[in-house]
């Protein structure tokens, strides 16, 4: 699963490098979500019984990161109106 996420992260960056990036209010959450999920999942200490308590939190934080990203994708138009770089969106439309 970690390999799939890491390869998807690389493919995402290759795609945006070749075909252009998404608007900043969507590009940044995508990048941050991939990085956060990988950071949390790569540190899961499942083999050591003493650290299984912390593994629960790593998995929980990974899921929370995905939920937050889902919210950004679902509400990106509304959020783009709240945040101060709305002027970038106007530049894209011109």
Contact 59, 44 (CB under 8 A): yes
pLDDT tens sequence across 43-54: 766 566 666 777
Q: What is the pTM of this model?
A: 0.65
- Return the half-sphere exposure (C-beta side, CA atoms, 13 A cut-off) of residue 10: 5
Residue-wise pLDDT tens digits, 29-43: 888 888 888 888 887
Print the domain residue range for 23. 2-93
Q: CA 5, 41, 73 angle in degrees (round to 5)?
A: 55
On the 0-12 / 13-18 / 19+ scale of CB atoms within 10 A, 3 is exposed
Based on the structure, what is the number of domains in the chain? 1
């Amino acid at each position: 699963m970690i390999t799939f996420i890491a390869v998807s992260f690389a493919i995402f960056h290759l795609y945006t490098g070749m075909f252009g990036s998404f608007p900043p209010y969507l590009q940044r959450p995508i990048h941050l979500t991939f990085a956060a999920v990988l950071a949390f999942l790569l540190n899961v200490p499942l083999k050591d019984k003493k650290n299984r308590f912390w593994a629960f939190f790593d998995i929980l934080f990974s899921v929370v990161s995905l939920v937050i990203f889902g919210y950004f994708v679902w509400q990106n138009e509304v959020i783009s109106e709240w945040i101060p770089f709305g002027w970038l969106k106007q530049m894209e439309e011109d």
